[in-house]
Amino acid sequence: MLVLMAIEDMMSDLGAESVTAAATVEQALKLISARHFDFAMLDINRDGIRSDPVANALGADSVPFAFSTGYGNHFVEGAHGEQPILRKPYNRTNLTQIVNQMFPG
């Protein structure tokens, strides 16, 4: 929970007006079907469950997203292999770099 709060603070500092979190793939998919997101950050592997269905749903809605992981690049496979990856543990500088990469200017 503390990590989530820190991420929310970092995103707010970067200009996010609203930050929404989902603890499970199912919660994330429900949120995606209910509203539009401008950006998403996905943990590749959350408690042994991959976020591929969430990445697919975001891709289908043309929502830009980045992965967050403590694993290597080989954990990002298939259609989403080109997505930016934020390495754990990360800080405000790392997150800012990813956001600036995805939204230049």
- Which tokens go with 16? 């996010």
Report residue 28 CA to chain centroid gap.
11
Ramachandran angles phi, psi of 70, nearest 5°: -100, 0
pLDDT at site 49: 87
SS3 84: coil
With contact defined as beta carbons under 8 Å apart, do 65 and 27 qualify? no
**pLDDT tens digit sequence for 48-59:** 888 999 999 999
Fold for 2-102, please state it.
Answer: Rossmann fold (3.40.50)
**pLDDT tens digit sequence for 15-30:** 888 999 998 999 999 9
**Nearby residues of 12 by Cβ (< 8 Å), 6 or more positions away:** 19
pLDDT at site 72: 63
Q: pTM here?
A: 0.84
Higher pLDDT, 4 or 91: 91
Which helix (H) or strand (E) segment is 42 a member of?
strand 40-43
Q: How many CB atoms lie within 10 A of CB 13?
A: 11
pLDDT at site 76: 63
pLDDT at site 74: 58
Percent of the chain whose pLDDT exceeds 70: 90
pLDDT at site 75: 59
With contact defined as beta carbons under 8 Å apart, do 79 and 53 qualify? no
pLDDT, mean over the chain: 86
**pLDDT tens digit sequence for 80-95:** 778 888 888 888 899 9
